[in-house]
Structure 1
Amino acid sequence: MTSLLQSYTFQIVALGATLLGAVCGAVGVFSVLKKESLIGDVISHSALPGICLAYIITREKDLVILLLGALGAGLLANILISYTAKKTSIKLDNILALVLSMFFGLGIVLLTYIKILPGANKAGLNKFIFGQAAAILKEDIYLISGISIVVLIVLIAYWYKLKLVIFDYTYAKIIYKNKVRFYELLLSFLTVICIVIGLEMVGVILMSSLIIVPAVSARQWTDNLVKMTIISAFVGGISGLLGTVISSSSLNLPTGPVIVILLSFFVLVSLVFSPKRGILRKYLYKKQEQEKIIKDMLKIANGREN
């Protein structure tokens, strides 16, 4: 373990995972508050056929090419969801289930087709299903980290506008008029970008957890957007770091499931110990109220006896 922690390559990967988790946690706050958590799950699953098609067309496993394919598929899925929701009477949850199954099914078919193609460089594409941080190159980490920083800068630059669109859409339309649609698309684009750059590390199946779960944990602790974003970024970052450490150890575990287990632990702690909405707090409050009622009843009873 000591030699692993001292490895320069591991340090770079761990830094990238931490930054990725933090950015995904920050962006995920807006998805959770918009009640569009499941859209992230659909987009992450929809990225698989884009990755496969990018490889089939180019026969290259260059991360930039594969991520561009994933980005295209993710954006296509997002557009398809929005268009179908507006033009048909199908409920949103049914649309999400339909798009997810359609894209992911296509991705599995294409992944199976790739296995029978000639050539030796096709190995390793299945790591996009569950993620594997140990297999990521330093150049890939530089790319992921760079994009994460850009996403964070854009989020900060448009913070007030995105906040207004989330909490007071009507007022935002009065102020920004036609630009409101741009801000909605920008937020969707940032979400897609975060999902796409995390696919190699976390995998398509569980990538949405890195977007949703940190924000759900943070929501239990505060009602303030800034504080919620900071807590969510911290939870995502620390989960990414610890998940990379565990998955890169001698156990050689897939990174995605490890990160999700850690995120689940944070959610459990938040649900139990949160001072505002925690189960323990509600239990203690209920117990105090019951004791107060009993004391009041005893006082009333004693007063009548006197």
Structure 2
Amino acid sequence: MWNWIVAILSDPNTRWILLGCLLLGFSSGIIGSFTFLRKQSLMGDTLAHAALPGICIAFMLTETKSVGLFLFGALVAGIVATFGISWITRYSRIKQDAAMGIVLTVFFGVGVVMLTRIQHGASGSQSGLDKYLFGQAASMVMTDVYVMGGVCLVLLIACLAWFKEFKLVSFDPGFARGMGLPVAMLEQLILLLTVIAVVAGIQAVGVVLVAALLVTPAAAARCWTDSLALMVVLAGIFGALSGATGTIFSTLVPNLPTGPVTVLAATALFAGSALLAPRRGLLARRLRSIQAKSAYMREERATLQTLAIQRNQQERGEM
């Protein structure tokens, strides 16, 4: 196994893909922790699907196959989607989860229509847009890794700089508002960072699966700790491990896509965490339940024995 890994790392293209997936998983896990704690797990899925029309519009306007333009279009579409969600929730009685569902279906539907139109056009087969649906990590090059490194650095600096503010907004926005914090601006900042993470991961994982890298590592990390700081670190580590696992297995097994394997690796980490975590794991809860039941039965037996002894003593006293 070790020889296989050394052989994999000897290929420069594989090294770039591995590094890119590591950075993607790490950055997604960090910002995904705040999205998960704010109970906005659907937000990543919404922003990912909303990016598709932005990619299509970028190609229709320029008619060039440029990754930079595609990602810029996805970024603009994601920002528009966040403002759309905020506008719906602010000026209507629709709740945020319903607003996210509306934006997801509308944007993705428009994107599919545009993609179909492009694919039936003269240069549609050469557009390369289909890989953005399910991702194609094998197409990543050195410049893509530099972009992901920059995204990871921006997310890390932002989370360190506004960690206390993000913590208050995530757990108690009312208290944060009472302290005078700009809650609306902080919420929009978290959404903007989420958009950036989603856009960075589209090329590797695709719009369909990129949301899983935001939610699954954070959910796995939540099983192990009650500390937000430790949860963010663990989520980043779990995301990076998922990216590395997806890259290695897709390299070892022919015709195995990197993006879906990365998501499956993250799911396996979550399943293991949900099962084996010392406090929140299913096995630990079951063990505590058995121990509590055993302690209760021992107390009941001791109580019954005490009552029996007292009754015997009373009967002897009467005799």
Q: Which runs of 4+ in 1 moved over 6 A?
A: none
Q: Which residue in the other structure is 1:224 paired with?
A: 227
Contact 1:133 1:247 in 2 (8 A): no
1:108 aligned partner, one-letter code: V
Give secondary structure in 2 for the equivalent of 1:258: helix
Q: Determine if the alignment matches structure 1 residue 37 to structure 2 residue 64.
A: no
Give me the whole-angstrom Cα distance separating, in 1, the residues matched to 2:251 and 2:128: 16
- In structure 1, which of residues 124, 128, 135 is the aligned counterpart of residue 128 of structure 2? 124
| Cα root mean square deviation, aligned | 1.7
Task: Note closer, same or farther for the CA distance 1:180–1:246 as it changes in structure 2 (3 Å cut).
Answer: same
Q: Which residue in the other structure is 2:279 paired with?
A: 276
Larger of the two Rg values belongs to structure: 2
Identity %: 37
Give secondary structure in 1 for the equivalent of 2:122: coil
Q: Determine if the alignment matches structure 1 residue 295 to structure 2 residue 292.
A: no
1:35 aligned partner, one-letter code: K
Q: Which residue in the other structure is 2:316 paired with?
A: none
Task: Note closer, same or farther for the CA distance 1:301–1:250 as it changes in structure 2 (3 Å cut).
Answer: closer
Give me the whole-angstrom Cα distance separating, in 2, the residues matched to 1:298 and 1:172: 51
Q: Determine if the alignment matches structure 1 residue 140 to structure 2 residue 144.
A: yes
> 1:272 Cα deviation (Å)?
1.0
Give me the whole-angstrom Cα distance separating, in 1, the residues matched to 2:15 and 2:141: 12
Q: Which residue in the other structure is 1:76 paired with?
A: 80
Task: Note closer, same or farther for the CA distance 1:175–1:245 as it changes in structure 2 (3 Å cut).
Answer: same
1:186 aligned partner, one-letter code: L
- CA deviations 1:148-206 (Å, max 9, x no partner) are 212211221222222222233234334445x3322221111000000001000011001
Contact 2:64 2:127 in 1 (8 A): no
User: Please, what TM-score do these two structures have when normalized by structure 2?
Assistant: 0.90
Give me the whole-angstrom Cα distance separating, in 2, the residues matched to 1:246 and 1:58: 36
> 1:123 Cα deviation (Å)?
4.3
Task: Note closer, same or farther for the CA distance 1:189–1:264 as it changes in structure 2 (3 Å cut).
Answer: same
2:90 aligned partner, one-letter code: K
- CA deviations 1:110-150 (Å, max 9, x no partner) are 11111122237724221111112112222222222222212
2:296 aligned partner, one-letter code: I
Matches within 5 A, 1:1-306: 1=4, 2-119=6-123, 122-177=126-181, 179-306=182-309
Give me the whole-angstrom Cα distance separating, in 1, the residues matched to 2:67 and 2:116: 20
Give me the whole-angstrom Cα distance separating, in 2, the residues matched to 1:213 and 1:52: 28
Q: Identify unmatched segments of 5+ residues in structure 1.
A: none
Give me the whole-angstrom Cα distance separating, in 2, the residues matched to 1:304 and 1:143: 75
